[in-house]
Each structure stands twice: as structure tokens, then as C-alpha cells.
Amino acid sequence: MSFTKNLIEGTNFDHTNLNALQKVTLRAVVMAFLFYGLVAIEGMIMRMVEVGHSPLNPVPDQFFHPEHFFSIMTVHPIVGIFGSTYQLVFAAFMFLVPYLTKKPLYSIKLANCVWLLITIGTALAWIAAFVWNYAPLYTLYWPLPADTHQFKVVGGIVFVIGVALIMVGTLGFIYNIYATIFARVGVHKNKTTKELLISGFGVDGMLNLMNKLRGKQPYTKEPALALPVVAIFRGTVDTFLDAIVILAAGILILVYLVFDASGNALDVTAVDALLYKNFFWWGLDLVADGLVLIYVAGSWYLLATLITGQKLFMENVARAALMLELLVSWMVWSHHLLGDQGQPEMMKLISGEMVTAFELLTQGLALFITLVTLWKARPLKMTMELKYLLGGLVGFGLAVPAAIIQADMGMNRVLHNTQWIIGAHVHIALIVGLYMTLYSALYVLWPLVTNNTKLYSSKLSNAHFWLHLIGGIGMGAFMGMAGLDGMLRRHLYVDGQFNPDMVFAAIFGSMLLLAWIIFLYNIVMSVGVKGLIGIFLPAKDKTASYGIEEELEPADDPAFAN
């Protein structure tokens, strides 16, 4: 097939054969990867600024200006975490929950609203920074977001509306997921809400364990919900709480900005900065320590069972651990406040150090269970999904201890707010740990979501894998080393003070960018431009499930109300 024909037609992808669930999944995936590219470009711009002025540096002078630099730094995590990661995770779970529970998704219309709201919201937040240089950073430390001496009110209002839309979209996702899980149709026709709740919280796993220890029969041999669905259920609790906290912070900022615009500025000291930090970090930390870790653990379990075709090792322990992680994730936020001298010492010790260290156990357990499940099924073919899964395990194997090390009153004094935490922990956790897990899921789900579309090139897939893995680890490592050398994470350096660390970080960062281009090229050549457009056209087949007999969407099903 010629290049042009391949580019237009793809391999054997036919968008007209996709059902509504497949299409809505692919729409969110497409947006997620477009936002990922934007994030990679933003990251490279910031990295090149930190390399410093040089005749070889292609970045225009305007990016070295603080307003511009910090505008990029503000939207970088918004686009990366919400525009890309949230969309990708939500897309995967809106497909997987119906697939695993063998029930239709509650509402395709709502699923469409979710990706649209998150896309529009992310775009608005980006525009607020690009047009009006609104740059309070994602931390939104009070009262900076309401500081109208530094920022234009209109920029702030557009930014808050953007983030609020993302959160409303998130709430839509949550509703859709829970409505699907609790729908008493199909295999759950005879299940009660109580049974589904017990299973969702992992209580059945804990009761099975206790009964085993007491020599009794298991509480249930067939839990109501599959383990990955339990992880999705559990992680979504934290997603909900996080959305509420961010929405509340947004309303607070909006009230101050609107009053300021009306000429009746409110007193910003009415809100205690440290209390606000506690409230905000409690919610924001649920993204990292609740949502990501739990969703990732669930994804590992699912991938390990799908790749090996075998039952998960120690499934009851895994179920119980997910319940434990629920409690742990609610009590760890103080590790972000170890540098705040007004924070009570006991909170630093208990929440910031001791409970946070528990994450080593919960994540370590997920790692152990996944590895043993894989090991017991050997020999395995080194498929793309297995490669990416191992990459994801390496990512979290590196990133979680990097954070635990810093969640310590001694270490935090010299590492807080440095590039260590954003490089060695956050970027390795997200780029290597989370994204490689998601790529693994993508390769597993690809035949299901695209009706067995042939991938254009496995060589390109391999090139993407190695560039992403080496680029991600390398960039995070050199950012981390710069942090140990004293480089701050939310600071502007224009003279290359932390070279050669930043030069190496930029080289590895460009590998990540190249990896994304290769991946995108491979996908476009597989589905074709026609197919890509077709994904966004209405589906003729309105089926909201995959792999089961055609059923009505529960939202349209009169039986659903009963």
C-alpha cells in the first residue's frame, strides 16, 4: 500500500463498524494524546529556557520572560494531568467497566459530555494562561490566585471556569461509572446494592481472608465485582473527593475575582493561608496518592490477568489492600507541608511521615502480586503490552521510594520544592509509571476498541517503547540530580545555572517528544485520516457495551429505574 493511501485509509480500520461505546472511547483517547503532545512541547520549552541563553538554543526570547514562563508552568500540569491523563484513564475505564461487568455503559451521551467538557475546560485554562498570562501555578497557594496586582481578573475567571468544566466532566464520569456498576441488569440482575457495595469496597476480600484464617468457608467464592472494577470503584471515590475540593477552591477564587472586578475587593486575609493549603493538598493529594496509585494497581492486576490468561495471585489480599489504600490516601496530605513551620509537628510526623510510608506497602504489594502472577505463567511472549507493563512497574518502582525518601522531616528540609520531587518522583511516576501502564492497556484494548485493526508498524511501536522508557527515566533522573544540586522546581533560571543537568534533561526530554511523534504517526497510519475523522462522526450502532448480547443503554431502559 502506498504511503498516501495508508495515510488516508489506514490499514484495515473501518470506523463505520464501530459501536457507540467504541467511538466514545476512541474520541477521548484521541484528545488525550493530542494534549499529551502539547504537554511534551510545553515541557521542552521550559527545559530549554532552563538550559539558558545560547546561540544554539532555538527557543525565542519571549519564553524567557517570567510572565510567559510561569504561564506555561501553570497550564503544563492542567493539560498533562486533566487534559491527557484523566481523559485516557476515563476512556479506558468507560470501556472496561461495561466490558468487565458484561453490562452496558449507563449513558453514552454522558460519556460524550465528559470528553467534551474536559477538552473545552482544558482549552479554556490554557487560553487563560496564553492570552492573559494567568499564572498562579496548579498549587493555587492562597492568596496568589486572587492577586489582581499580578494577574488580570478576566484571566483568572476564564481559568477557573476551565478547571470547573474539567471537574464537572469528572463528576459526569463518576456518575456514569457508578450508575453502570450499580445497574442491576445482566449478570448483576439478582445482586443487591449492598452486595455490590461490599464488593466495591473490597470488604468481601477482607472477609474471605478472615474466614480463611479462622478455618471457615470463604465469605464468597464469586465476588460480585471483578478485581479491576473494584480498583476503579475505589479510585473513583478519591476522584470524587478531589473534584469537590478543586471545585470548592475554584468557587472561592471566583468569588474574590468577581468582587474585585466589581470594585468591592474582599479581604484576602479572611482566608487562612495554611488552613487553605491543608484543605487544598488534602484534595489534590488524592489525585496522586489515591486515584493514581489505586487505578494503577487495578490496571496492573487487569493487565497481568489478561496477558497471562490466569487468575491473579493472592486476589483476596489485593482486594483487602485496595480498601486499606482508601484510608491511607485520605491521611497522607501533610507530607506536602513538612516545610511549613506552622503545621503541627504531630501532623507532620503521623500524616506526613508515618502514614505516607504506608504507601510503600500498598504499592509494594501491588508490585509483588503483579510480578508473581506474571512469573507463575512463564514462559510468556514479550508482547508490546507486557513490555509496557514491565516499564510501568519500573516507573513506580523508582518513583514511589523517591517520594517516601522526601516525605521525611530531615530530607524535606533540603529537598522540598526542588527538582528532585518533580523529576525523580512526579515525572517518573507519570511518564514512566502511569503512561507505560496506560500504553500497555492501550495495546491490550486496541483489538477490542478498533475491531482488530492491524497496527501499521511493530518496529515503530518498539522504537516508541524504548525512546519513551529511556527518555522518561533519563529526564527524571537528571531533573532529580539538579534538585540535589539545589535547583528549585518553581523558579526561573535563565543563565543555565544547572547545566549540564538541564542539557541532559533536555536531550532525554526530546527523546520523549520524538517517541510521541512516532507513536502518533503509527496510530494515524493504522486508522488513517479518514478513520480519525470518522471516530468523531455519530455511530450507527448505538450499542453501549462490548462482547455481550445487544442491550439497551440503562439510561434508556425502563427496567433500570426499578
C-alpha distances in Å from residue 90, one per residue of 9, 65, 170, 335, 368: 28, 36, 9, 28, 26
If you write DSSP's letter for every residue of 36-70 in order, what string do you get? Answer: HHHHHHHHHHHHHHHH-S-TT--S-GGGGSHHHHH
Q: Which residues have a Cβ under 8 Å from the Cβ of 69 and sit 6 or more positions away? A: 46, 49, 63, 492
56 or 382: whose CB is closer to another protein? Answer: 382
Considering the complex, what minimum distance in angstroms separates the CB of residue 394 from another protein? 5
Quick one: which segment of 14-22, 88-96, 141-149, 229-237 binds another protein (CB under 8 A)? 141-149
Considering the complex, what minimum distance in angstroms separates the CB of residue 398 from another protein? 6
Does position 486 interact with another protein (CB under 8 A)? The reply is yes
Does position 340 interact with another protein (CB under 8 A)? The reply is yes
67 or 551: whose CB is closer to another protein? Answer: 67
- CA–chain centroid gap for 64, Å, is 29
Quick one: which segment of 21-29, 149-157, 293-301, 534-542 binds another protein (CB under 8 A)? 149-157
Quick one: which segment of 6-14, 27-35, 99-107, 378-386 binds another protein (CB under 8 A)? 378-386
Does position 159 interact with another protein (CB under 8 A)? The reply is no
32 or 72: whose CB is closer to another protein? Answer: 72
Does position 60 interact with another protein (CB under 8 A)? The reply is no
Q: Residue 557 corresponds to which cell in the numbers above?
A: 431502559
Does position 500 interact with another protein (CB under 8 A)? The reply is no
Does position 273 interact with another protein (CB under 8 A)? The reply is yes
CB 276 within 8 A of CB 234: no
Does position 291 interact with another protein (CB under 8 A)? The reply is no
DSSP state of 547: S
Does position 411 interact with another protein (CB under 8 A)? The reply is yes
SS3 of 457, please? Answer: coil
CB 496 within 8 A of CB 54: yes
Burial bucket for residue 517 (CB in 10 Å: 0-12, 13-18, 19+): middle
Where in 239-258 is the site for another protein (CB under 8 A)?
A: none
Does position 8 interact with another protein (CB under 8 A)? The reply is no
Count the site residues for another protein by CB under 8 A: 86
Considering the complex, what minimum distance in angstroms separates the CB of residue 492 from another protein? 5
Does position 381 interact with another protein (CB under 8 A)? The reply is yes
For the range 146-152, what are the long-range contacts, defined as Cβ-Cβ under 8 Å and sequence gap of 24 or more? Answer: 146/253, 146/256, 146/257, 146/260, 146/268, 147/268, 148/257, 148/260, 148/265
DSSP state of 202: T
The correct pick among 199, 239, 418, 437 for binding another protein (CB under 8 A) is 418
The correct pick among 171, 357, 503, 507 for binding another protein (CB under 8 A) is 357
Considering the complex, what minimum distance in angstroms separates the CB of residue 445 from another protein? 21
DSSP state of 407: S
Helical H segments across 18-152, by residue range: 20-51, 66-77, 87-101, 108-132
Does position 70 interact with another protein (CB under 8 A)? The reply is yes
CB 69 within 8 A of CB 46: yes
Does position 374 interact with another protein (CB under 8 A)? The reply is yes
394 or 513: whose CB is closer to another protein? Answer: 394
Does position 485 interact with another protein (CB under 8 A)? The reply is yes
Does position 417 interact with another protein (CB under 8 A)? The reply is yes
In DSSP terms, 446 is beta-bridged to none
Considering the complex, what minimum distance in angstroms separates the CB of residue 281 from another protein? 12
290 or 423: whose CB is closer to another protein? Answer: 423
